[in-house]
Amino acid sequence: MSTFAFGTYRITDQNPIHLEALKEAIEAGIELIDTSTNYTDGGAERAIAKVMRLFDDEVRQKIKIVSKYGYIQGSNMQKHKEEPYENVVEYSPACYHSIAKSFMKAQLGESLERLDLSCLDCYLIHNPEYYIYESLKNNMNHDQILDNMFERIYDAFVGLEEEVKAGRIKSYGISSNSFSKSRNEADFLPYEDLLIYAANAAEEVGNEQHGFTTIELPINILETEGLKCAKWAKNNNLRVLANRPLNAQKHNLMYRLADYEENREYYHYLNELLDVSDNEELKPLYNLIEQLDINRHKFGWIGEYDSFASTQILPHIKKALEKFETNQLEDLLRYIELFLNAYREMVAYECSQRVGVELKDELKNCEKNLQICALEFLLKQEDIDYILIGMRKPTYVQEVMALKR
């Protein structure tokens, strides 16, 4: 039987609600925290350190902390531009990737500093398949792609074995979305030989046994292909972490596996904001809010909206308010905040309605809230050790832990 762990994607040390949620999760019995160097540009690791300081040694020693490396974003991107990292895959203008041994060692040092630790329980290579994506775009031979991929992984394993020997990590592993793909997909990452690579890396470094202990991959009620990898892992005494329990992919579309209620106060906040911005000075803001209301049903899933909000909505609002009188700004920002909170709930509601229609056949046996069905499905899986779930509010922690009880 699996159990829940605390996932820190989108957790930041700057949000007191996030800190309170993590504290409550530990008090409720969570014993594994999953994070990564790139989560809120290191803010997630700093948040863990802040909360862990609130507990005594007996509690801290029970908590296993798993972090990951591979992404070059945010402050890492700036460092790369000043002094380039090795073996970098330029996936997009805002997202580069590397699993090079030298990059790993630098990232591990920064993670340990942010986490206020001298040794990390487990360090994972984060989505090494970015090399596969890039090579496929360049029409490379598939067998050659995999040969190159495993050369990169072996080099990283050697570095990780060195870190085990040095005492900076207790173990290591791989987190990969490609473990959940079917074998006939071009970006599937074969996993059966990973233990051989780990054993060879340990021998090269002089370790008596390898430190490869953990895999992480997406598994949920819609994406079950990864259960094959999980079974292989358990047969080889590896720990299995399942991520994306409520964010599922099917036919290249994302679905949020949760039911949301319609926000009853949405139209009140909408009309209130439209009223206060219905003037020449705030016409750009008025137009933006009007367009948002018209298009709220067009988001594929709530994650798409969150990305759109951070990259489009908030910058447009900031620009619309540049010339606004500061003595009136505080009240206006309150109207905007109330509207955006209600708007997000309405988008989530619209998305959940779409999920119910488009996935009615797959979910026909679900007679409870969708998120409960999705999590209960994972709790019953014998080959999963931990279900990583984001719990950014104390109320989320209470709901999730109540399920386990």
How far, in Å, CA of 51 to CA of 31, rounded?
14
Residue 215 in any domain: the answer is yes
Handedness of CA 200, 204, 207, 213 (dihedral sign): negative
Residue 191 in any domain: the answer is yes
Give the pair of three-digit tokens for residue 172: 């290591």
On whether both 295 and 387 belong to a single domain, the answer is no
On whether both 176 and 200 belong to a single domain, the answer is yes
Handedness of CA 7, 303, 228, 183 (dihedral sign): negative
* Overall domain count for the chain: 2
- Helix H or strand E segment including 239: strand 239-243
Amino acid 326: pLDDT? 65
How far, in Å, CA of 113 to CA of 61, rounded?
18
How far, in Å, CA of 162 to CA of 154, rounded?
12
On whether both 74 and 178 belong to a single domain, the answer is yes
- Helix H or strand E segment including 82: helix 74-82
On whether both 305 and 399 belong to a single domain, the answer is no
Q: Read off φ and ψ for residue 75, nearest 5 degrees.
A: -65, -30
What DSSP assignment string belongs to 290-307? Answer: HHHHHTGGG-SSHHHHHH
Write the single-letter amino acid at 398: Q
How far from 375 is each of 138, 249, 313, CA to CA, in Å?
39, 16, 32
Residue 342 in any domain: the answer is yes
Which residues span the domain enclosing 20? 3-257+369-404
How far from 181 is each of 140, 152, 176, 215, 225, CA to CA, in Å?
20, 20, 10, 14, 6
CATH number at residue 175: 3.20.20.100
Residue 363 in any domain: the answer is no
Residue 49 in any domain: the answer is yes
Amino acid 38: pLDDT? 95
Residue 343 in any domain: the answer is yes
How far from 201 is each of 87, 198, 205, 345, CA to CA, in Å?
19, 5, 6, 49
On whether both 247 and 273 belong to a single domain, the answer is no
Q: Read off φ and ψ for residue 77, nearest 5 degrees.
A: -65, -40
Residue 364 in any domain: the answer is no
Amino acid 252: pLDDT? 85
pLDDT in tens, the chain (405 residues): 689 999 999 999 999 999 999 999 999 999 999 999 999 999 999 999 999 999 999 999 999 999 999 999 999 999 999 999 999 999 999 999 999 999 999 999 999 999 999 999 999 999 999 999 999 998 999 999 999 999 999 999 999 999 999 999 999 999 999 999 999 999 999 999 999 999 999 999 999 999 999 999 999 999 999 999 999 999 999 999 999 999 999 888 999 999 999 999 999 999 999 999 999 889 999 999 999 999 999 999 999 999 999 999 999 999 989 877 666 788 899 999 999 999 999 999 999 999 989 999 999 989 999 999 999 999 999 999 999 999 999 999 999 999 887
On whether both 107 and 153 belong to a single domain, the answer is yes
From 142, 216, 150, select the one nearest 178 (Cα to Cα): 216
202 contacts 154 by C-beta, under 8 angstroms: no
Residue 148 in any domain: the answer is yes
On whether both 197 and 275 belong to a single domain, the answer is no
11 burial (CB, 10 Å; 0-12 / 13-18 / 19+) is buried
- Helix H or strand E segment including 400: helix 394-404
On whether both 198 and 275 belong to a single domain, the answer is no
Amino acid 328: pLDDT? 75
How far, in Å, CA of 218 to CA of 225, rounded?
9
On whether both 304 and 168 belong to a single domain, the answer is no
pTM attached to this predicted model: 0.92
On whether both 171 and 292 belong to a single domain, the answer is no
The DSSP symbol for 120 reads B
Helices (H) and strands (E) counted in the chain, each on its own, are: 16, 13
On whether both 338 and 211 belong to a single domain, the answer is no
On whether both 224 and 320 belong to a single domain, the answer is no
- Helix H or strand E segment including 347: helix 329-358
